[in-house]
Amino acid sequence: MVDTQSPTFSQHAQRLHGRIDAALQSRCALADGCPANLLAAIRYSLLAPGKRLRPILVLAAAEACDGSIDAAMPAACAVEMVHAYSLVHDDLPAMDDDDLRRGQPTCHKQFDEATAILVGDALLTMAFETLAGQVEPPEVAAACCAALARAAGPCRMVGGQADDVAGPGTDGSVEQLDWLHRRKTGAMIRVSLKLGALTAGASAMQMEALDRYGDRLGLAFQITDDLLDVTGDDAAAGKRVGKDARQGKLTFPGLLGIDESARRAERLIGEACEALLPLGSGTELLNALARYVLERNR
Ligand code: GRG
């Protein structure tokens, strides 16, 4: 059952947004060697007004496991760097070929294609430099690097993206769509929670609860993304909507219809919130974020 009485996600998020943006900004002060145009494009893409859901998940997971925001912040920045890279590359002509992202021209439109490819390369490597150099102690930093590499790599995010680019597979089933999105979108959501938990020294029980929450949240997030593509508008979403149908993509509303997709997302969010119960108190933000995923318009 989803609780509707506690503070909204935006009330919670306000507390963290400024801190996340300041932390990202400080990590864009790159030393000699980074050309001014590349730096401008990195800043343009990373600091653009995204929702910062993944870094908020890192910090919320750390809080839920009695960890500190400061200790989790490098990991929060690292996941946002990988996410920002994936968006820049996804928008390229060879992939989704988009001209609008986060309410502004996509990186390759504002700069050029070569720069956008290099921005992705830079953000991906900056993420691992941040984890390796700024997460303490070194064993936790190594565990964070391994987890993020796996989630962003060929068997998870990149693999899901490859299947998405290749187009609908043979059976076009819900299970096939779930598997694609568990990798393309869900893996980065799950690993955000894992990194937050790792920086907090979480127990196996806490890790497992957060992972179950992340699995359900990730799929629900993708369903609401598909729904927004049908029912949302460009201005609110900050990106072009209606593209899935134009590109003939297999989507949840395309497969199940709008109402059944919305019910499926609601069920998943209910399961996500239930998964948090063993964690006891300290999960308010995670609960609020789950509700927000159902209600979001961007
Ligand atoms: C290029 C290797 C590679 C992977 C790209 C993330 C991704 C994989 C593609 C993005 C395409 C897309 C619309 C995926 C659906 C879900 C999703 C990840 C939406 C974007 O995330 P938000 O809504 O974005 O959290 P903001 O801008 O708010 O951070």
> Can you give the pLDDT at residue 2?
45
Q: Which residues of the chain have pLDDT under 70?
A: 1-7, 169-170
Q: Where are the domains of the chain?
A: 9-295
Q: Which atom of ligand 1 is nearest to the CA of 53?
A: 25
- Are the beta carbons of 44 and 167 closer than 8 angstroms? no
Select from 3.40.50.300, 1.10.600.10, 3.20.20.150, 3.40.50.920 the CATH code of 9-295.
Answer: 1.10.600.10
270 vs 217: CA distance, rounded Å: 9
Indicate if ligand 1 lies below 6 Å from the C-beta of 185. Answer: yes
Ligand 1: distance of its center to the CA of 86 in Å? 7
> Can you give the pLDDT at residue 7?
67
Residue from 90, 96, 178, 227 whose mutation best tests the ligand 1 pocket (most atoms within 8 A of CB) = 90
What is the per-residue burial (b if ≥16 Cβ within 10 Å, else e) of 236-259? ebbbbbeebeeeebbbbbbbbeee
- The values of phi and psi at residue 93, to 5°, are -55, -35
CA distances from 207 to 46, 153, 198, 203, 204 (A): 28, 21, 8, 6, 5
> Can you give the pLDDT at residue 1?
42
67 vs 257: CA distance, rounded Å: 41
Say which amino acid occupies 177: L
Instruction: Determine which helix (DSSP H) or strand (DSSP E) holds 43, and give its type and residue range.
Output: helix 36-46
> Can you give the pLDDT at residue 235?
87
> Can you give the pLDDT at residue 217?
98
Ligand 1: distance of its center to the CA of 184 in Å? 8
Ligand 1: distance of its center to the CA of 214 in Å? 16
User: 53-64 vs 187-199: helix axis angle to the nearest 10?
Assistant: 40
- Are the beta carbons of 51 and 36 closer than 8 angstroms? no
Helix (H, G, I), strand (E, B) or coil at 100: strand
